[in-house]
Amino acid sequence: MRAMAVVSSESSVKGGARHNAPSATAQRYPTSCVACNVRDLCLPGGDSESAADLMDDMSYARRRLRRGESLYHAGTPFRSLYVVRSGFFKSFVVTEDGSEQVTGFQMAGELIGFDGIESDAHTVNVRALEDGLVCVIPFTQLERMASRSLGLQRQLHRLMSRAIVHNQGVMMVLATMNAEARVASFLLDLSQRFVARGYSAAEFLLRMTREEIGSYLGLKLETVSRVFSKLQQSRLIEVENKRISLLDAPGLRALTGGENRKRDVSPPLARAG
């Protein structure tokens, strides 16, 4: 029942490292998990053909979003997970006083929607920061398939675990690092995720504003801007508005770890736990 790989003009994600270009405007919908270019990062996984076949049997829908459009809101009944095919998203909650608090950024291949499973309703809002496309995966259907394929079930659990581990990493960043280190690890995290998608590790576009970065990192936008300037002066990065070049990734890494913990320098004799 599953469609064979009809050629799509969706910009290929695999292949040589390139600058991440704005998403093409003239795209056809992708066709099959088997042929999907973000499949390795998605639910079917890279290893097993059968999981991809199974997913295709679901014949799930795609949904196209324009920049600024919402995928769902806090309170929206939970029915589906979403896989980002293309585009860039942010998740956020709106506090009582009406201000947005960014909880994450999502790019191609990443799953969105885990926040809704527990209470059958989403707890965060998700909005497209640029035009994009998502695969819609009805959750009960997914669970039925997962019970038929241990591989698919495991992949789902891996991805949820990854979300947990990633969030723990963010908690660490927020709890232990000063402004400079937070921004540095943010840039390294983005870089790493771009690499995993075949983009350049050293050069990319920030799809979000300084304010959104600051919100995510628990900093004010002015502070983010200042840190960018300082990192540039230290020749660690090059900033030109939304364009970022990492000139010295090891240098950035050093900022996040050895030093620049919240102004509490290492004890005389570090010992492993």
From residue 81 to residue 120, the character string flagging contacts with a second copy as x (rule: CB under 8 A) and all else as - is ------------xxxxxxxxx-x----------xxxxxx-
Nearest to 189 by CA among 206, 210, 211, 209: 206
> Residues with Cβ < 8 Å from 164, sequence gap 6 or more?
none
**Least CB distance from residue 179 to a second copy, whole Å?**
13
Q: Are 197 and 13 in contact (CB under 8 A)?
A: yes
Contacts (CB under 7 A) with DNA, residues 177-206: 178-180, 206
Binding at 242: pick from a second copy, DNA, none (beta carbon under 5-8 Å per type): DNA
Q: Are 61 and 136 in contact (CB under 8 A)?
A: yes
Q: Does the protein bind a second copy through residue 32 (CB under 8 A)? A: no
**Least CB distance from residue 74 to DNA, whole Å?**
21
How many CA atoms are closer than 13 Å to the CA of 105, on its beta-carbon side?
Answer: 22
User: What single letter denotes the amino acid at residue 263?
Assistant: R
Task: Please say whether the dihedral angle defined by the alpha carbons of residues 12, 13, 19 and 20, taken in this order, is positive or negative.
Answer: positive
**Cβ closer to DNA: 163 or 205?**
205
Binding residue (CB under 7 A) for DNA from 40, 69, 189, 211: 211
Binding residue (CB under 8 A) for a second copy from 14, 18, 28, 158: 158
DSSP annotation of 98 reads S
Whole-number Cα distances in Å, 22 to 87, 130, 262, 269? 8, 8, 37, 49
* CA pair distance 15, 79, nearest whole angstrom: 34
Q: Does the protein bind a second copy through residue 71 (CB under 8 A)? A: no
**Least CB distance from residue 160 to a second copy, whole Å?**
5
Q: Does the protein bind a second copy through residue 240 (CB under 8 A)? A: no
> Residues with Cβ < 8 Å from 13, sequence gap 6 or more?
37, 38, 108, 109, 197, 198, 199
Binding residue (CB under 8 A) for a second copy from 124, 183, 187, 224: 124
Q: Does the protein bind a second copy through residue 188 (CB under 8 A)? A: no
Binding region for DNA (CB under 7 A): 178-180, 206, 209-211, 218-226, 228-229, 239-242, 262-264
Binding region for a second copy (CB under 8 A): 73-74, 93-101, 103, 114-119, 123-125, 143-144, 146-148, 150, 153-154, 157-165, 167-168, 170-172, 174-176, 215-218, 257-258, 261-262, 264, 266-267, 269-273
